Structure 1
Amino acid sequence: MFDDLISVLTQQYLKVRQQYRHAQALWAHGRTDPGSLPEPRFILFGRGRSGTTALLSMLDDVPALRCEGEILHNYVPYPYRHVLGRSARAGPMGYGCKILSYQVQDVQTALDRPEAFIHRLWDEGGFQILYLRRSNLLRHALSNIRARREQFHQKKDDASAKARALRVDPDAVMEWIRSSEALGTYEDRLLEGVPHRSLTYEEHIRAPEAHQQTVDDICAYLGVKSAPIESSYRKIAPPSLRDGLANYDAVARRLEGTPYEQYLEERG
């Protein structure tokens, strides 16, 4: 019961903090000339559990950039002005933040035209768009399930962390895959007509040896000087699906004959 109370109080605190930051953002937006906003400005866009936290952490190591996390995690009355106002508070450095597609679809209900939101941030707000997705939808589903059970996917500087094999409901896995696929379709609509840099977890985030080149390429895209980075995030999920799933055979039977069967043999 005590834990439940703490959880409720924490949620209320986070909501109050978000509205306080919203007020700060609106104040900054009202007092800032659009021409004096930090350059460059970018949005890291995609789904949760796709490596967005790791990538944003790496980009925050670049001296020319200041990065924030999910600034639209909770509802705000004026989402567009909120994003611009948060960037106005960044100072002279470039600014980046993360926006997840479900937040546009389900959380920011004040948006008159949700599907035009990313386009407006690019067209009117001057934000460049980085789009990160995870190609293996089975891995993505399992990552979501693991996160909700264990409240983590990556840990910082924890060499002893070991992932335990998951036992999952095959039907639940299928529902997660279909939900992720539907979000991907929604993201395509949000990005329609918007120039963006497309990235995948498998190519750019999964392997640590790819991190520096990924950051270098993004910095070139944004027009800022890159720098050596040292990612403190490491993947703890087992590389083999058979190692990671206690009931692998049951999941494989559920996916057999579906378009998602292809993901069973992919690593990472």
Structure 2
Amino acid sequence: MPVLDEATTFLRQQYLFVRQQFRHLQAGLNYLSGRPLPDTRFVLFGRGRSGTTALVSMLDDVPGLRCEGEVLHDYVPFPRRHVLGRTARCSAEAYGCKILSYQIEDVQRPPGRHEDFLHTLHHDHGFHILYLRRTHLLRHALSNIWARQDTFHRKKSAPDTEPTAPRVAPEHVIEWMERAEALREYEATLLKGVPHLSLTYEEHIRHDKAHQPTVDMICDFLNIDSVPVESSYRKTAPSALRERVANYEALARRLRGTPYAEYLD
């Protein structure tokens, strides 16, 4: 079975790569065709496990607005042209897509300086920038670790099952938080000189009651009409960290005395 699983994973990866390159070809043709871009266009920029998927779901429910997911998840030769081509093929009045910071840093190789990627999209091509981040480093790290085993967020149509709290390696958690801090600094360089709407998971995504005001604020920022929306994702993670981690006390002992102790319950 492990061999079969490995073969299935390999074939899936190859399929996704080929699909991405086909979409890149389509995007390139759209870019070269000179088709006009939608009047309103934006990038939802941030980091994985920060509420970006839920926000894409909500924004995509707004009439006249098409919001895509991670258009730069896999390598493409011309990432900026890929974004422009994906935008050009959209027939809606407003178009947005999600781009994660690690994709600009590690996956893509845009011509020129990486740091100019968002700057060029905004200043040269009229893209608005929405920046969504997660401020609680420990919860963010645990969310990333858990996502590689199961998920604390599921489609609302999925069967109701109780997630099992995982055991975590404290050093692994610290590595995730250190990586998050490094990405936060990198994101600051990408956003330097780029006007943007700043959002946080904790204030704008975590609680259901914040969803509609968040969408209203974004629509106002984009100068489009808002409507009542509802995320198709539901949060299933317990709120207390002690319930999220099977060996919470061991994790707490390791973090005490470090800058990350402030994130403990």
Is 2:76 the partner of 1:76? yes
Is 2:4 the partner of 1:2? yes
Which deviations, in whole Å up to 9, do the C-alpha atoms of 1:185-238 show, x marking residues without a partner?
A: 000000000000000000000001110110001000000000111212111111
Aligned to 1:40: 40
Aligned to 1:242: 242
Shift of 1:9: 0.7
Q: What SS class does the counterpart of residue 149 from structure 1 fall into?
A: coil
- Residues 159 and 216 of structure 1: CA distance in aligned 2, closer, same or farther (over 3 Å): farther
Shift of 1:39: 1.8
Aligned to 1:64: 64
Aligned to 1:200: 200
Q: Residue type matched to 1:26 in 2?
A: G
Shift of 1:4: 1.4
Q: Which moved more, 1:253-262 or 1:38-47?
A: 253-262
Unpaired runs of 5+ residues, structure 2, are none
Contact 2:45–2:132 (CA under 8 A) maintained in structure 1? yes
Q: 2: distance between equivalents of 1:185 and 1:163?
A: 33
Q: 2: distance between equivalents of 1:47 and 1:125?
A: 23
Contact 1:138–1:260 (CA under 8 A) maintained in structure 2? yes
Q: What SS class does the counterpart of residue 20 from structure 1 fall into?
A: helix
Contact 2:110–2:117 (CA under 8 A) maintained in structure 1? no
Shift of 1:178: 0.3
Q: Residue type matched to 1:132 in 2?
A: L
Aligned to 2:90: 90
Aligned to 2:32: 30
Aligned to 2:115: 115
Q: What SS class does the counterpart of residue 53 from structure 1 fall into?
A: helix
Q: Residue type matched to 2:21 in 1?
A: Q
Q: Residue type matched to 1:70 in 2?
A: E
Q: What SS class does the counterpart of residue 68 from structure 1 fall into?
A: strand
Q: What SS class does the counterpart of residue 140 from structure 1 fall into?
A: helix
Contact 1:155–1:233 (CA under 8 A) maintained in structure 2? yes
Q: Which moved more, 1:225-234 or 1:184-193?
A: 225-234
The TM-score, its normalising length taken from structure 1, stands at 0.95
Which deviations, in whole Å up to 9, do the C-alpha atoms of 1:228-266 show, x marking residues without a partner?
A: 11212111111000111111111111111112111112x
Contact 1:42–1:130 (CA under 8 A) maintained in structure 2? yes
Contact 2:65–2:92 (CA under 8 A) maintained in structure 1? no
Unpaired runs of 5+ residues, structure 1, are none
Shift of 1:110: 4.1
Q: 2: distance between equivalents of 1:145 and 1:250?
A: 16
Q: What SS class does the counterpart of residue 184 from structure 1 fall into?
A: helix
Which deviations, in whole Å up to 9, do the C-alpha atoms of 1:133-166 show, x marking residues without a partner?
A: 000000000000000112x341112351322112
Contact 1:155–1:161 (CA under 8 A) maintained in structure 2? no
Q: How much is the aligned-residue C-alpha RMSD, in angstroms? A: 1.1
Q: Which moved more, 1:123-132 or 1:104-113?
A: 104-113
Q: 2: distance between equivalents of 1:88 and 1:70?
A: 17
Query: Counterparts of 1:1-268 in structure 2 under 5 Å?
Result: 1-33=3-35, 36-150=36-150, 152-157=151-156, 158=158, 160-265=160-265
The TM-score, its normalising length taken from structure 2, stands at 0.96
Q: 1: distance between equivalents of 2:66 and 2:49?
A: 22
Q: What SS class does the counterpart of residue 74 from structure 2 fall into?
A: coil
Q: 1: distance between equivalents of 2:93 and 2:7?
A: 40
Q: 1: distance between equivalents of 2:52 and 2:246?
A: 27
Q: What SS class does the counterpart of residue 149 from structure 2 fall into?
A: helix
- Residues 128 and 110 of structure 1: CA distance in aligned 2, closer, same or farther (over 3 Å): closer
Percent of aligned pairs with the same residue?
Answer: 60
Q: What SS class does the counterpart of residue 124 from structure 1 fall into?
A: helix
